[in-house]
Amino acid sequence: MLGMTVLGADTPLYLNPKATPEQRTEDLLARMTLREKLGQVTQIEIHRLMTGFWNKGPLDSSWMQTVLVDYAVGSILSGGDGSPMKNTPEEWAKMTNEVQRWALKSRLKIPVLYGIDAVHGHNNVIGATIYPYNLGLGATFNPELIKAYAAKTAEEVAATGIQWTFAPVLDVGIDPRWGRTHETFGEDPYLVSALGVSQIKGFEESGKVISCGKHFNGYSVPKSGKDRHPAEVSPRELYEIHFPPYRAAIKAGMSSVMINSGAVNGVPAHASKWLMTDILRKEMGFKGLVVSDWEDIAKMVTYHRYASSVEDALALSYNAGLDLNMVPMDVETVDQLERLVKAGRIPVERINDAVRNVLLVKFRLGLFENPMVDPNMAEKIIGSRESKAIAHKLAQQSMVLLRNEKDLLPLSKDLKNILVTGPSADSISRLCGGWTIRWQGAQEHELSGKTVLEAIKEKAPKAKVTFIHDARNAKRLVKAAKEAEAVIVVVGEKTYAEGEGDSETLQLAANEEKLIKTLQNAKIPFVLVGAAGRPLIIPGGNKAAPAILWAFLPGTEGGPAIADVLFGDYNPSGRLPITFPTSVNQVPMPYHTTKAYKPMFPFGAGLSYTKVEASGLQVKPKVGMGQKVQVTVDLKNTGKRAVEEVVLLFVKNNGSSILGMSKQLQGFARVPLKPGESRKVAFELTPEQLSVWNKDMKLVQEPGRFTVSVGELSTQFAVEK
């Protein structure tokens, strides 16, 4: 058995798996020196342990000795690009085994907790299945399948000896200028909560990998739309929009929270006792592990200019509630911490609590009993058929059909002449986005799968399929387009992560705009496929093309999934999880808090290849305070194709003590309907869902009148004392 501990009479309690995690934690804590405690609350990145540092190289025994034995740090992470020199599942497993082997040389033999950004599959590992990014998952409105994806990813992550994923992002994606919008589940707190919870359960219920809700809090709304820029957020917006996903995630058993790198209302989140202790721990009841984001203690000095030294920043942050510092390179931080504790600037009890939160995670994971993995298993588990099947389904369901004039789609498989054009048509990397193999995105040869172009060729085997990358040679493009029976344009964005993805215009790259305008000017009808992790401003807006299909970032199964939809092998069911603005000057313009809401495509928009009619929206006209409210609606598929209809239930509070949200999503369901089939769909609204955050920021239910709506249908009910 790997890592089996033989229990003798003198085995310390903390090494006895029969004791509870709490008992083991207290026993081990009591045995630790101050320096060992300070090492335990310090996280170092894997490059620091390599002979070549940022240039990689094998693990360096002197650095391993320093970091894992002398300083005995508690956690290691692989940040973006933090892969072994040879990026294979086996080498990942060997690398983490070697880290654990050295960690077990420490005096108390404490294994490290190894963390990674598995944010759309085990996306750093070559060969892993890359799933649709969260914004596309938002369009699926499918918590069950997202949970299955997370469970499958947990297996892949654990197989490489990693026990912690820095996921899900629980930021509410309101401003598409922000370079991380694709990492969010969209602009609605109810949807972000539901899908975040499903990912958390998928990870945590594996018993092998813990989740990490990020980035707490208010990270997604920098005033400038630029990553890590200051956010000015009213308490109301925090309580109504940005806090709810964390409340739900805590209830769902999220083990850790990562703090926002930015500043909120003038205070860097990493120094905010209000956020990290008063709200997260006291008000929301979070008892787990709080980890910093990358280098954010030092950035309180160098970026926010908020602390005058790293020591001041360390004291501020640990005293505000931080448990684990993702330094991630300077292990001497432990010496600085020691000076601070000895000078009484950080109470030992605060450090003890932080150590407890790290150790409890390790004991609950069984990490002391099984710190190592079998490298051969990793090769077998990564990129499995099952993971590809789940990713393919999610990619299909993540697509949103925004326009389909004269039923241009689906295309016939008997076509003889097809023109495919656009930079995202022959790239898999652009379908995956950033944090894929590499921080800023994969090189094409590092990914396996089919491009949209390859998948189209397979769907229409009789067709001559011409590919022209863009409109550099406009004449050639137009000539080919005129000769073709169908023209498919696939545009999107280059890959990016974090601030590299910030956009001031939401426009396509010039060559992609030129491509679209060239075809429009030549009056060529075409199918527009958008493979971008955010809404973009397309020339021609919602009339840019007779058919518009938004695929977001569908991952390595994206090419075949897009072809499935284009040729009718999948009836599109996705609904927009984020508003598509007509102009960048409108943003941020979330549907729930915008009065003059005039988007290019609204939140919840989405067509299919059939017609589903809703009728008979029913709700009791009067209910008492504290009562649940049943809402039903009848659906009928009046078309010729089966569909999984996504039904969205919105509720509007018509008059409370607060001018709250215009309307808000309060329920959704995926309803399978065969042609001609009818179904009654039932929703239940809880008193909490009908409550408001009053002027004292307390969640209270008040009597009032409410409107529920499904599609074009709406009806009212009253809540009475």
Q: Please give the positions annotated as active site.
A: 293
For residue 79, state whether it binds ligand GLC (rule: CB under 6 A): yes
For the bound state, the minimum distance from the C-beta of residue 419 to ligand GLC, rounded and expressed in Å, comes to 40
Q: Where are the alpha helices (DSSP H) in 213-322?
A: 235-237, 244-251, 273, 299-302, 310-320
Residue 701's Cβ-count burial label (10 Å; 0-12, 13-18, 19+) is middle
For the bound state, the minimum distance from the C-beta of residue 213 to ligand GLC, rounded and expressed in Å, comes to 11
Binding mask 143-172 for ligand GLC (x = CB under 6 A): -----------------------x------
For the bound state, the minimum distance from the C-beta of residue 291 to ligand GLC, rounded and expressed in Å, comes to 9
d(CA 562, CA 243): 35
Taking a C-beta distance cutoff of 8 angstroms, is the pair 82, 90 a contact?
no
How open is the CA angle 388-192-238, to the nearest 5 degrees?
150
d(CA 371, CA 103): 10
The helices-and-strands tally (H runs, E runs) of the chain is 21, 26
Element (H, E) at 651: strand 643-653
The token pair at 82 is 């933090």
Q: Report which residue's Cβ sits closest to ligand GLC.
A: 166
Measured from the CB atom, the residue of 170 and 661 that comes closer to ligand GLC is 170
Measured from the CB atom, the residue of 91 and 293 that comes closer to ligand GLC is 293
The count of other CB atoms within 10 Å of the CB of residue 556 is 30
Measured from the CB atom, the residue of 256 and 397 that comes closer to ligand GLC is 256
Residue 7's Cβ-count burial label (10 Å; 0-12, 13-18, 19+) is exposed
DSSP state at residue 411: P
For residue 214, state whether it binds ligand GLC (rule: CB under 6 A): yes
For residue 502, state whether it binds ligand GLC (rule: CB under 6 A): no
For residue 240, state whether it binds ligand GLC (rule: CB under 6 A): no
The token pair at 712 is 């074009």
Measured from the CB atom, the residue of 183 and 240 that comes closer to ligand GLC is 183
Taking a C-beta distance cutoff of 8 angstroms, is the pair 246, 170 a contact?
yes
For the bound state, the minimum distance from the C-beta of residue 212 to ligand GLC, rounded and expressed in Å, comes to 7
Cα distance between the two ends of the chain: 63
Taking a C-beta distance cutoff of 8 angstroms, is the pair 157, 131 a contact?
no
For the bound state, the minimum distance from the C-beta of residue 418 to ligand GLC, rounded and expressed in Å, comes to 40
Q: Which of 436, 442, 579, 397 is nearest to 506 (CA)?
A: 579
d(CA 297, CA 279): 20
d(CA 466, CA 317): 58
For residue 293, state whether it binds ligand GLC (rule: CB under 6 A): yes
Omega of the bond prior to 328 within 30 degrees of 0, cis? yes
The token pair at 572 is 């599109």
Measured from the CB atom, the residue of 46 and 490 that comes closer to ligand GLC is 46
Residues in binding contact with ligand GLC, number by CB under 6 A:
9
Which amino acid, 201?
A: K
For the bound state, the minimum distance from the C-beta of residue 627 to ligand GLC, rounded and expressed in Å, comes to 41
For the bound state, the minimum distance from the C-beta of residue 117 to ligand GLC, rounded and expressed in Å, comes to 5
Measured from the CB atom, the residue of 47 and 459 that comes closer to ligand GLC is 47
3-state secondary structure 333-362: HHHHHHHHHHCCCCCHHHHHHHHHHHHHHH
For residue 133, state whether it binds ligand GLC (rule: CB under 6 A): no
Under DSSP, is residue 143 helix (H, G, I), strand (E, B) or coil?
helix
d(CA 12, CA 559): 55
Measured from the CB atom, the residue of 98 and 117 that comes closer to ligand GLC is 117
For the bound state, the minimum distance from the C-beta of residue 127 to ligand GLC, rounded and expressed in Å, comes to 20
Query: Under rule CB under 6 A, which residues in 294-333 are in contact with ligand GLC?
Result: 294
Measured from the CB atom, the residue of 256 and 503 that comes closer to ligand GLC is 256
For the bound state, the minimum distance from the C-beta of residue 227 to ligand GLC, rounded and expressed in Å, comes to 8
Measured from the CB atom, the residue of 79 and 574 that comes closer to ligand GLC is 79
Q: CA 134, 668, 246, 188 torsion: positive or negative?
A: positive
Binding mask 384-423 for ligand GLC (x = CB under 6 A): ----------------------------------------
For the bound state, the minimum distance from the C-beta of residue 83 to ligand GLC, rounded and expressed in Å, comes to 13
Measured from the CB atom, the residue of 79 and 422 that comes closer to ligand GLC is 79
Q: Which of 675, 673, 685, 678 is nearest to 709 (CA)?
A: 685
For residue 286, state whether it binds ligand GLC (rule: CB under 6 A): no
Cβ density class 343-378: b for 16+ within 10 Å, e for less: eebbeeebbbbbbbbbbbbbbbbebbebbbbebebb
For the bound state, the minimum distance from the C-beta of residue 34 to ligand GLC, rounded and expressed in Å, comes to 27
d(CA 165, CA 122): 9
Taking a C-beta distance cutoff of 8 angstroms, is the pair 131, 183 a contact?
no
Measured from the CB atom, the residue of 134 and 653 that comes closer to ligand GLC is 134
Strand bridging mode 267-268 / 263-264: antiparallel
Relative orientation angle of helices 21-31 and 348-364, to the nearest 10 degrees: 130
Query: What residues have CB less than 8 Å from 224, skipping those under 6 apart?
Result: none
For the bound state, the minimum distance from the C-beta of residue 367 to ligand GLC, rounded and expressed in Å, comes to 20
Q: Which of 117, 156, 187, 323 binds ligand GLC (CB under 6 A)?
A: 117
Measured from the CB atom, the residue of 225 and 375 that comes closer to ligand GLC is 225
Residues engaged in binding ligand GLC (CB under 6 A): 79-80, 117, 166, 214, 258, 261, 293-294
